A and B are shown apart, each in its own frame.
Chain A
Amino acid sequence: MERVECIVVGGGLAGLAAAYGLASEGVEVMLLERGDYPGSKNVTGGRLYTSALQEVYPELWEEAPFERPVMRELITLMAEGRQVTLEIAADSFTVPKPQSYTVIRAKLDRWLADKVTEKGGMVVTNILVDTLIKEGDKVIGIRAGEDEIGADVTIIAEGVLGLVSEAAGLRDKPAAASHALGYKEVIELPAGVIEDRWHLNSGEGAAQLFMGSVTMGMMGGGFLYTNKESVALGIVVGMDWMRRRPDDLESWQLLDGLKQLPQIRPLIAGGTVAEYSAHAIAEGGIAKVPKLLGDGYLMTGDAAGLSLNALVTVRGMDFAIASGYYAARAVLEARKTGDFSAASLSCYQTCLDHSFVLQDLRTAQAVPHVMENPRLFDHYPDAVTRLLEQVFTIGPGPTKRLMSTVFRGVRRDFLNVATLKDANQFRKL
């Protein structure tokens, strides 16, 4: 059996970040990627928050091929026939440094793979890892087709489905109740058109979320991210919510519904659809994170359920990069003694515990439960948009006093037992 010091399963951001850290320190690391190139199988919404990555390879992010720094955040509440958009522009989103960027994974991951190669790491594409090889509880390598490769330690970065780690008994099968489907179209538009439509200075970007009737009452929403010369427009919907629907609605129809709305059409008019992609998203929070390490292996990124949908901020890629970084550090530490047992690798758990990754997941531990509240996706968008619609409406008959309209709407939709119960639940957010 061929041998290397470390195998990385999967060339997404977690695996690449791990391989980069190891290759930089001269570790013999082989990353196996099933696609034609790293990024070819990967899908984001997508936006990467870089604010928490200041200590994680700071030298990299200055030159990374990002699309646009996000300087405008838009939240659009939607109900049948009306929308309300809140647009937030804050200097702190971009000054002194942008806190987030829109990204295209085929570019970003490919670039990071080149960095790994520059540091002496091996990035091997077109190889699908079929299984882990175990000796008792210890992971000692991988099998890919006819090939077996042994390693002192295997970093599992295979992504959200976790097929290889599930088969090896290292994690559970992903459950519909804790996963959402995300899918999107990439629609090409000239840079100037994007900047005009989202009120951006040259090179700046916007992120827009849509909540309410866009998912027909189901947990989730729509999203739009501006790339340099395209926008990614898509839908996230809870898998269990789709499954429970009594009607024949098909998931892909939600995006077509969004695109056909008279309020959305002008945003993408004249654009050319260039790609259609989909991805599962782990939304189970800290409660669904599997054991992160064992004898001879570490789990990183989506494979370890490290993602967080906190309603208005959606994160996963920064967690992936940080977990890959800490996995590399743990391997470097263990390598000093040549002992890659769980005990020796346990600093990975400690590092993650003290990092934003597990701290933010713990802070947000109430989120998955709150997101189960269907009123978030029907009642509130409906009530807020109706109230504002009424405030701005002049009917044919006598108009009521402004405050009387407001109070009537507030009393009807917000001052009731259900809302008070919701408020109590939302306090935990």
Chain B
Amino acid sequence: MSDGGTGSDGRMSIAAKLGLNVFKLDKEPHIVIDHEICRAVCTKKVCVTVCPADLYELNDEGDVVVNWEGCLECGTCLICCDERALTWHYPRGQFGVQHRMS
């Protein structure tokens, strides 16, 4: 059997990997970006490259947006953002990722 469907050959998108996880979504985001800080002082946009779930991207206006729903709650973006443009909490109790095998 080829691995195409199961993805163990590495040809699996991040979205497909996140799709395997159990997420319980809150209505409100637990990560909020202060766009004014991003625009005013941030030149590197490291959040886009450090996030292991690939949740950060630049929109058409050039602003950073985050697809917080797929957050693995590792906090790497928070630690790496020296500009402190992120308001980052853990999701409220009973929400967020729920690991079964990690």
Contact = CB atoms under 8 A, between A and B. Distances in A.
B37 interface: no
A127 interface: yes
Contacts of B8: 187, 259, 268-273
Interface residues of B, number: 46
B81 to A, nearest CB: 9
B65 interface: no
A245 B82 CA distance: 16
Contacts of A248: 49
A102 to B, nearest CB: 12
A242 B81 CA distance: 12
A273 B17 contact: yes
Contact of B6 (A125, A174, A242, A272): A272
B1 interface: yes
Interface string A38-54: 01111110100000000
A255 B96 CA distance: 23
Given A105-B102, A260-B10, A273-B20, A278 B1 contact: no
Interface residues of A, number: 65
A232, A268, A273 interface centre (most CB from chain B within 10 Å): A273
Contacts, number: 171
A270 B1 contact: yes
B93 A127 contact: yes
A312 B83 CA distance: 34
Q: Which 3 A-B pairs have the closest CB atoms?
A: A259-B10, A126-B94, A276-B17
Given A273-B17, A277-B21, 14 more contacts: A34-B93, A106-B102, A127-B93, A144-B93, A160-B75, A239-B76, A239-B79, A250-B48, A251-B51, A251-B76, A255-B10, A274-B20, A279-B72, A280-B79
7 contacts: A36-B94, A41-B96, A41-B97, A227-B101, A251-B50, A272-B7, A277-B99
